[in-house]
Amino acid sequence: MYFRIAPRTSAGKTYKYLQLVESYRDHGKNAQRVLYSFGNIEALRQEGQLGRLLKSLERASGRRPRGADTAELQTGRVLEYGGVRLVQALWEQFHLSELLARLLAGRGFDFDPLAAIALIVFNRLLAPKSELGLLQWSDRLWWPPFARAPLELHHLYRALDALIEVKEPLEEHLFAQLRHLFNLEVDVVFYDLTSSYFEGQGPPLAAYGYSRDKRPDQRQILLALACDHHGFPIAHEVLAGNRADVSTVRQMIEALQKRFALRRVIFVADSGMVSPANLQALGEAGYEYLVAVRRQRVPAVETHAPEDLGLYEEGPHHVRLYVTPAAQPGSRYVCCWSAARAREEQQIRQARLERGQIALEKLAAQVAAGRLKRETKIVERVTARLRAAQASKYFLCEFGEGRLEFTRHEEQIAKERRLEGRYFLLTNAAALGAQETVEAYFTLQEVERAFRELKDFLHLRPIFHRKDQRVRAHLFACVLAYLLERSLSHQLRQAGSELSPREALEWATRVHAVENRLDGHTFWTVSQPPPLASQVFQAVGVTQLPRTLSDLTPPD
C-alpha cells in the first residue's frame, strides 16, 4: 500500500486529494485500487490532520519524534461491498423484501428469513456456492442484515422451504412489478427448456432423459421457463427429467392461463416444442403461436427455391422472406433465406465432404494394398470413419472382399444446396407480418442464448439437495437471480452502457469496505469506485456511494 496525491479539476480550479492506494494483480496485469480517500490535502493540512497522519506513519515505521501525538491511523479488514450493494439495489427495485415479508407474515421464524433468502439469491449472482460454502462466503461481505443476525446452515434450508411455498404468489407479484417498472405489455411469450443432472441418485423427480448437458448416463430434472420479449422470466416449472419436450408445453399454457391476466399471447418456441398436439393445445387455449419448424418436416412444395415463387421481400437481419399457406387452417409458413446462413452451411458441408473423402481414400488404399480384406471389416471401418467425419449421407459406397469403391451422393448434395440458408417459421398470428415474425424469432434466439447462460452464469449445478421441494426451491432462487440479471442488463442498455451483466458485476465487486482505527475509534470507509463501476451504479439508480459506513455494524 502507498499514499498518492490525485488531482481533481472543478470549475477551472485544480484540487489535490490524498489517497491510500493498494496495488494488486488483475488477470496477470498490474492494477491499483483506492482503499481510502482522506480528502483535500490543503484542508487536511489546515486542520492539522496531515501532521497527525505523518506522525502516525513515523511511529509505525519506528521513528518516534519527541512530543509526538499518540493518535495513530490503522487499517484493518477489507470486506466486499460493491457487488452486494449493486444486487441489493436491483432487489429493492422489485420490492422483494416487502413482498416476502407480506407473504411470510405470521410464520414465527426464529431467524430472519428475508435476509436468508436474499443472501441465497445474491450468492447465485456474485459467487455461486453450496449452502455451506455460502456461509463462508458471507463472512467476506459488508452486509448489515447478516451482521445483525448471523445465519446458520439449517436457517438456509428452512428459508428455501419457505421460499418455494410462496412461489406462485411471488411470481404473480413480480410480474406486476415488471409491468410497473418497465411499462411492459406482454403480447409475446417465449418458451424454452434446460436440464440439470445429478451426481448419484438425485431426488425423486430426477430421471433419465434427453440431456442438454451431454450426460445421458445421469439422472436429471427439467426447468421450463416462460419469458417476455426482454427475457424477463414470467413463470417457471420444475419437471421430471424424463418428460418429452413437447409434453411440457400444455402444462406451461395452463399455468399462464390460470395465474396471469395476459390479454393476448403469441407463444414462441423452437422446433423441439412442435407437435400437432401442442399446436392444438395452443389453439384451444386461445393462444396464437410462432414456432420454428425443422426443414425435413416442411412439405416439399414449401421448400422450392424462392426465386421460383417470386415472392421475395427484404426483411430484418439481412433475411429475405416469402410467405405461403400451411396445411393448418389460418396458419402460414414464413420461409426465410439468409446469405450468411447459406455461407455457413456451405462451409460446414464442404468441410465434411473433405474429411469424408480423405478418410475413404485412405481406406481404399489399405484395401488395395491388401491390408484390409474382409468385407465385414471394410464395412465396419467405412461406417466408423464416415460417422466421425459427419459425412455418412454424402457418399455412396460399394463393398466386396478386397474391394472398396465410393462416389459422392450428388443427389443428396444437390438437395442440401437447394435448402441451404433457409429456415421455416409456422404461425397463425394474424397481426404479425412476415418481418415481425422474423423479428420475434430472432428475439427467441436471444432469449435462448440468455437461458443457456443461466446455467453457466448462475451455476445451476451442482445441486446438493435430495428432496423435490428443496430442488424446486434451489431453482426458484436461480430464477430470481436470473430476473435480477435481466433487469441489470436492461438498465445497462437504457443507460447506453456496452457492459454485459457479468462485466458490470465484476466492476462493482472491486469496491470494498475498509476498516480504520483512529484515536480508539473504529470506522469503515468505502474505497473509491473505478469509473466503470460508477457507471454501473448510476445505471441502476445508485448515484453516489457513501464515503463512510460508521453507522453500520460489521460482522466480527
- Tell whether the model's pLDDT for residue 553 goes beyond 80: no
Q: How confident is the model at residue 62 (pLDDT cuts 50, 70, 90)?
A: low
356 with 456, same domain? no
Percentage helix, strand, coil for the chain under 3-state DSSP, each rounded to 5: 45, 25, 30
Model confidence pLDDT, tens digit, residues 171-203: 999 988 887 777 666 667 888 788 888 877 788
Residue 482 within a domain: no
User: Beta-carbon neighbour count of residue 98 at 10 Å?
Assistant: 12
Per-position b or e across 53-75, b if 16+ CB within 10 A of its CB: bebbeebeeeeeeeeeeeebbee
Residue 196 within a domain: yes
Rounded distance, CA 86 to CA 536, Å? 8
Query: Which helix H or strand E contains 293, and what residues bound it?
Result: strand 288-293
452 with 347, same domain? no
Q: Which cell goes with 155?
A: 436457517
The torsion angles phi and psi of 328, rounded to 5 degrees, stand at -70, 135
Residue 47 within a domain: yes
382 with 437, same domain? no
367 with 433, same domain? no
Q: What is the 3-state secondary structure (H, E, C) of 228-266?
A: CCCCCEEEEEEEECCCCHHHHHHHHHHHHHHHCCCCCCE
Contact 114, 101 (CB under 8 A): yes
Rounded distance, CA 167 to CA 104, Å? 11
Contact 5, 41 (CB under 8 A): yes
CA torsion 30-34-38-40 (nearest 10°) is 80
Contacts of 369 (CB under 8 A, 6+ apart): none
CATH code of 285's domain: 3.30.420
Full-model pTM: 0.72
247 with 395, same domain? no
Residue 44 within a domain: yes
353 with 433, same domain? no
300 with 189, same domain? yes
Residue 433 within a domain: yes
Sheet holding 319-325, edge to edge: 233-240, 220-227, 188-197, 266-269, 288-293, 422-427, 332-338, 319-325, 313-314
- Tell whether the model's pLDDT for residue 556 goes beyond 60: no
Residue 209 within a domain: yes
What's the whole-number mean pLDDT along residues 156-165?
A: 94
Model confidence pLDDT, tens digit, residues 117-149: 999 999 989 988 887 788 889 888 988 877 666
Look at the chain and count its residues. 556
- Tell whether the model's pLDDT for residue 4 goes beyond 60: yes
Residue 538 carries which DSSP code? H
Contact 420, 322 (CB under 8 A): no
Model confidence pLDDT, tens digit, residues 233-247: 889 989 898 887 777
Comparing 141-145, 284-288, 297-301, 399-403, the range with the smallest average pLDDT is 297-301
Percent of the chain whose pLDDT exceeds 70: 86
204 with 280, same domain? yes
Residue 157 within a domain: no
3-state secondary structure of 548: strand
271 with 376, same domain? no
Owning domain of residue 291: 185-306+428-463
394 with 284, same domain? no
Residue 189 within a domain: yes
Beta bridge partner(s), residue 9: 14
For residue 82, what are the CA distances in angstroms to 85, 96, 302, 498, 516? 5, 20, 55, 20, 18
432 with 301, same domain? yes
Higher pLDDT, 482 or 49: 482
Q: Tell me how many domains the chain contains.
A: 3
What's the whole-number mean pLDDT along residues 276-302?
A: 75
280 with 263, same domain? yes
